[in-house]
Amino acid sequence: MHTWRFVAIVLVLVLLAGCETVAPGVSPLAVPQDGELPPAEIPASVELSGPGIAAIVSLIVSLALMYVPSFNAWWSEFIYKRETLAATGFVVALALVGLHYLGAIDLALGAFGWPVIWRVLSVWLAYAGTGQLIYTGKRSLAG
């Protein structure tokens, strides 16, 4: 196991040693041979979709339940963990759709119909999947 780590570290060091020094934020692989940098377009903002927002909320909630002592003590004694996480994911999904129809955020939803129901389901699945990923990651690191 340690041999593979050593090999990986050596490969990274060799690759870094062969790179040219360029301006910060520019990949050495992106520098053309003539030395001139092409104009780079940097997005002015980051746009998140409904599932992306739900995943971030789930990440924050899961980490708070694991590592904030008062939340962790309450959560450890709580009986209905799965049901509560499923319900909070559904509430987050409905809140995002509600904020969309109130005009606070734009999720590119049309009139209410099956696409909106599918978006609610995908947001709920993103919330549940991120929570499960954090839980599984913690268990695999602990044991």
Gap between the Cα atoms of 84 and 91, Å rounded: 10
Task: List, for residues 20-77, the tens digit of each pLDDT value.
Answer: 444 555 555 555 556 565 656 666 666 667 788 888 888 888 888 888 888 888 888 8
Gap between the Cα atoms of 66 and 140, Å rounded: 14
CA dihedral of residues 62, 63, 65, 66 (deg, nearest 10)? 120
Q: What's residue 22's pLDDT?
A: 47
Between 6 and 54, where is the model more confident? 54
pTM of the complete model beyond 0.75: no
Q: What's residue 45's pLDDT?
A: 64
Task: List, for residues 97-138, the tens digit of each pLDDT value.
Answer: 888 888 887 777 878 888 888 888 888 888 888 888 777 777
